[in-house]
Amino acid sequence: MLDYTPKEMNEREALVVNPAKTCQPIGAMYAALGIHRCLPHSHGSQGCCSYHRMHLTRHYRDPIMASTSSFTEGACVFGGKTNLAKGLENIFNIYNPDIVAVNSTCLSETIGDDIGEIIKDTLPKLPAGKVVIHANTPSYTGSHITGFSNMNKAMVTYLSEAKKESKNETINVLPGFVEPSDMKEIKRILGMMGLSYIMFPDTSGVVNAPMTGRYEMYPEGGTPIQKIVEAGDSALTIALGDFSSKEAAYELEKKCEVPSSVLELPIGVVNTDAFIMRVVEQTGVTVPKELEVERGQLIDLMVDIHNHYHGKKVALYGDPDTVIALTQFIVSLGMVPKYVLTGTPGKAFDKKVKEILLAAGIKDAKVGNALDLMTLHQWIKNDPVDLLIGNTYGKYIARAENIPLVRVGFPILDRVGHSFFPTVGYVGAIRLIEKISTALLDKYDRECPEEDFELVL
């Protein structure tokens, strides 16, 4: 399909081919689903909302519910105030959520709708006790990670309060744009350590809810509104992922004086160690034996099969927080990150990745933000790699260049399991190693001479 991508690279200032990102409202909608009994609302055209729901539904293979202001020609000219106001009344009367999280779109942002003022004017007409929050998420800037971050910050801005004179011993954890399985794994680790914590957003039990035989519009999962309110009285906020969680943590620090600590996603040994040790430093708890065993099993696996992946050249692409953490993990495995890119804008990405590579003595890698997958493909055509790590959209490059692909990140549209099996923590790292090793060995088994086709490798 991409066999005719040219090796010769030309400057493309106004053309993106096969972008390594999607638009802000998708991230905002995903974050909103992490609040218990929340209905995301797209303030724009019906088609925009349908696309955002469809993309999330295809990734999670679970029906994603959201409402829309359904802009027509009149709203495009005169603004969408009436659509949003009437829409909110209908939503609470018909679907009865506890909270509606409104995200803007290109259309409403271009018109200039003041969503905050519209909500303020509409609240007196809504049923008592209901909540509405909003985030500005224009698709023509940033990415779905930016939208996730903006909605995360909106949760703090609208909901979190400091009600007590002194802080309690609870820790806030902002998990970043990760799978529900990853959020569940982070909660498992915190639970093993016996800690009091508040995680928001939390999509576990929402977009990977079980089949019960009865449709539930609002599954049991998600962070209760009251918990996000109480986050203002916590002792510390640990934000996982600079791009997806930092702004909400800083807003909570500014608004409620909750100290914040921004860490990388706990993918691999180094980053998981950093997360656990930050918790230990804050709380004084000891690391449970079960976690030490899991870490030891991970190290054992890294040693046992290092010959499968050591020295292999890798191209990584996708969401910035995920790719930064994966780069650190890949380096710790003895692999060589040759190309590392994200579609999300942000010079901090380049800086962090280059620091990791420099510490590992890797000097000739190509790193970039706000890039597309055509650029990655051209890099690979000029100097091939042994492995691709990223989302589903890399499968075309993998097929064209005969390179194994390990699917990690968002979106994964052609495989299953990501909603149920984590990549964070020591357990997640074990799974990643298994996927990497399997991908490399599958290619070897397909192509090796018959005399090398062995049962044990």
Tens-of-pLDDT digits for all 457 residues of the chain? 577 888 888 888 888 999 999 999 999 999 999 999 999 999 999 899 999 999 999 999 999 999 999 888 777 767 788 999 999 999 999 999 999 999 999 889 888 899 999 999 999 999 999 999 999 999 999 999 999 999 999 999 999 999 888 889 999 999 999 999 999 999 999 999 999 999 999 999 999 999 989 989 999 999 999 999 999 999 999 999 999 999 999 999 999 999 999 999 999 999 999 999 999 999 999 999 999 999 999 999 999 999 999 999 999 999 999 999 999 999 999 999 999 999 999 999 999 999 999 999 999 999 999 999 999 999 999 999 999 999 999 999 999 999 999 999 999 999 999 999 999 999 999 999 999 999 999 999 999 999 899 888 7
CA 11 to chain centre: 30
Residues 439 and 409 in one domain: yes
Residues 283 and 299 in one domain: no
Residue 15 lies in a domain: no
Domain that holds residue 439: 293-451
The Cα-based distances of 421 to 61, 413, 417 in angstroms read 14, 16, 6
Its sign, for the CA torsion 433, 434, 437, 438, is negative
Q: What is the pTM of this model?
A: 0.96
Least Cα distance to 411 among 52, 104, 15 occurs for 52
Burial 283-314 (b: 16+ CB within 10 A, else e): beeeeeeebeebbeebeeebeebeebbeebbb
Residue 166 lies in a domain: no
Helix, coil or strand: residue 227: helix
Residues 147 and 195 in one domain: no
Residues 211 and 275 in one domain: yes
174 is written with which tokens? 């902002």
Residues 145 and 221 in one domain: no
Residue 8 lies in a domain: no
Q: Is residue 93 within 8 Å of 63, Cβ to Cβ?
A: no
